Amino acid sequence: MTRQLPIIVEQCEEGGFFAECPLLPGCHVQAETYEETLKEIQAAVEAMIDDYIASGDPLPVGAPILTTVTVKR
């Protein structure tokens, strides 16, 4: 089965990037480059889903609504 899960990637002030998957609590990574961060979060998501399946726990459902706001300042 193929799933698409949202991730959030942020550039850190001290350098590097931080990524998390909001549907999987505790699923987050930090790496030096954007590309490395994407590889790391992919691996983390896959590992966490494997853990859910192995334990028989249901996977979290639903998806956050991701949108933007425009601020004039």
d(CA 8, CA 19): 5
pLDDT at residue 18 greater than cutoff 80: yes
What CATH number corresponds to the domain at position 32? Answer: 3.30.160.250
Domains in the chain, number? 1
| pTM exceeds 0.85 | no
pLDDT at position 69: 77
Residue 45's domain comprises 1-73
Determine phi and psi for 42, rounding to 5 degrees: -60, -50
pLDDT tens per residue, range 23-62 = 898 999 999 999 999 999 999 999 999 999 999 998 887 6
pLDDT at position 63: 65
Q: C-alpha angle 53/58/62, rounded to 5°?
A: 120
pLDDT at position 70: 84
pLDDT at residue 65 greater than cutoff 90: no
